[in-house]
Amino acid sequence: MFFPESSTRLRRFALPIAAVMLSTIVTARVQAATLRVAPSSPQPGDILTLTVYPSPGETISGLSMSAFDTPEVKFYGKSDGTARGFVGLPFDRHGGTFSLKALVNVTRDGRVAQTTLSTRLIARERVFPTQHISMKSSTASKMSEKAAFAAEKARVQSTMRNSYPGALWQGNWIVPAQGASTSAYGRRRYVNGHWWGQHNGADVKAQTGTPVRAANSGRVVLSEYLPTLRGNCIVVDHGCNVFSIYMHLSKILVNAGQSVAKGQVIGRVGATGFVTGSHLHWEVRIGWEPVDPNHVVQYGLSF
Ligand SMILES: [Zn+2]
């Protein structure tokens, strides 16, 4: 299966390389394409931007890559002939030097050549603070409902498989609700003394009813009540495998399938799901990998 020869700039590269193993494959002899990663010295929670540049006269006809906890990085074609993908650098990694490799098929004069591209990045160490949360034992007992948590996660993941193959976001990103930042991304959390995990998103303390706005433009892929953890929850697909998630809402004001504009009120702060009080928990994910929401607010994301 080749990269479609359509005029759309939203061409997609997320094709397994096995699918392009054709008899026309020849030994890579042309000057190799290049793979670049930015930023070159990220920290855990950052979004890595990966770009494949073909050599002059070549087109990219297939791409396969895994990186960190992402088994299949999704790449998207740009109008300049390059391919771009995003990857989250997980919060449970130490700093150090990492080698990234992509298997690339390039086409030149109708013939396909397969080559492995590599690049290196030096990640900085990032230490996340520990947070101890106290809960009524009747509420905390929910933590043992493993099957219910897993089912809810599967439901959310099922809506995030086919991101729009292009950037729906524009310009800067906004924090979705006004209020104090009470728990930042990555905090190492214990509930009543039991390990609960690292914080997947960021919390904004705000009264029930406070407007929740889309952090950027996109398309709603989930809008429903999820009783175990998330409560009233909205997932927005921003394209190119970039998602934002809004949880514990008192009200949901959008439907799945609907397009939303940056800043549009999509719901209201609440205390539904697994919570101790009224707040907004919001996340930014690349595929399923949670990244620091502050990263896009501070640096943006370019496609
Ligand atoms: Zn939270």
| 198 C-alpha to ligand 1 centroid (Å) | 10
| Angle of CA points 252, 256, 258, to nearest 5° | 95
CA–CA separation, 100 vs 168, rounded Å? 27
**Whole-structure pTM over 0.85, yes or no?**
yes
Q: At which of 58, 88, 123 does a domain end? A: 123
In this prediction, residue 31 carries a pLDDT of 58
- 226: domain CATH number is 2.70.70.10
116 CA to middle of ligand 1, Å?
40
Cα of 124 from ligand 1 centre, angstroms: 24
Query: Do 27 and 53 share a structural domain?
Result: yes
Helix (H) or strand (E) holding 251: strand 251-252
270 CA from centroid of ligand 1 (Å):
12
What is the pLDDT at residue 140? 85
Burial 51-61 (b: 16+ CB within 10 A, else e): bbbbeeebbbb
Q: How many CB atoms lie within 10 A of CB 103?
A: 17
Domain count, the chain: 2
AA letter at 121:
L
Distance 7 CA to ligand 1 centre (A): 42
Q: Note down the domain range covering 28.
A: 2-123
Q: Are residues 141 and 255 in the same domain?
A: yes
CATH number at residue 41: 2.60.40.1930
Does one domain contain both 153 and 259? Answer: yes
The single-letter code of the amino acid at 298 is: Q
* CA trace torsion 15, 237, 245, 89 (10° rounding): 40
- Tell me: do 112 and 134 sit in the same domain: no
CA of 186 to the centre of ligand 1 (A): 10
244 CA distance to ligand 1 middle (Å): 13
Span from the CA of 293 to the centroid of ligand 1 (angstroms) = 12
Q: How many A from CA of 258 to the centre of ligand 1?
A: 25
Burial of 130 (0-12, 13-18, 19+ CB in 10 A): exposed
The residues near 109 (Cβ < 8 Å, ≥ 6 apart) are: 57
CA 201 – ligand 1 centroid, Å:
6
Distance 192 CA to ligand 1 centre (A): 16
What is the per-residue pLDDT for 200?
96
> Based on the domain organization, do 106 and 134 belong to the same domain?
no
* pLDDT in single tens digits along all 303 residues of the chain: 233 333 333 334 444 333 334 334 444 444 568 999 999 899 999 999 999 999 999 999 999 999 999 999 999 999 999 999 999 999 999 999 999 999 999 999 999 999 999 999 999 999 999 999 998 888 888 888 899 999 999 999 999 999 999 999 999 999 999 999 999 999 999 999 999 999 999 999 999 999 999 999 999 999 999 999 999 999 999 999 999 999 999 999 999 999 999 999 999 999 999 998 999 999 999 999 999 999 999 999 999
User: 183 CA distance to ligand 1 centroid (A)?
Assistant: 7
Distance 47 CA to ligand 1 centre (A): 19
CA angle at residue 206 from 143 to 272, to 5 degrees?
35
Nearest alpha-carbon partner for 114 in 35, 36, 49, 18 = 18
